[in-house]
Amino acid sequence: MTRVERHASFGGWQEVWQHRSDILHCEMKFAVYLPPQAANQPVPVLYWLSGLTCSEQNLITKAGFQRYAAELGVMVVAIDTSPRGEDVADDSAWDLGQGAGFYLNATQQPWAAHFLMYDYLTKEIPALIASHFPTNARQSIAGHSMGGHGALMVALKNPGLFQSVSAFAPIVAPSQVPWGQKAFTTYLGSDTTQWQQWDSLWLAENGHPLPPTLIDQGLADPFYPQQLTTELLENCCKEKSLPVTFRYHPDYDHSYYFISSFIEEHLRFHAAALTVS
- Nearest CA to 82 out of 114, 113, 107 is that of 114
Amino acid at 111: W
Percent of the chain residues topping a pLDDT of 90: 99
Annotated catalytic residue 145? yes
pLDDT in tens, 31-90: 999 999 999 999 999 999 999 999 999 999 999 999 999 999 999 999 999 999 999 999
In this structure, how many other beta carbons lie within 10 angstroms of the beta carbon of residue 141?
28
Q: Which of 145, 164, 166, 200 is catalytic?
A: 145
> Whole-angstrom Cα distance, residue 63 to residue 152?
20
Q: Which one is catalytic: 114, 221, 266, 270?
A: 221
Domains in the chain, CATH or no CATH each? 2-275 (3.40.50.1820)
3-state secondary structure of 92: coil
Q: Which of 114, 144, 254, 266 is catalytic?
A: 254
> With bands split at pLDDT 50, 70 and 90, how would you rate the model's confidence at 277?
low
| Whole-angstrom distance, CA of residue 256 vs CA of residue 204 | 28
Q: Look up 132 and say whether it is catalytic.
A: no
Contacts of 33 (CB under 8 A, 6+ apart): 9, 12, 13, 14, 15, 60, 65, 66, 69, 75, 76, 77
| Active site annotation includes 119 | no
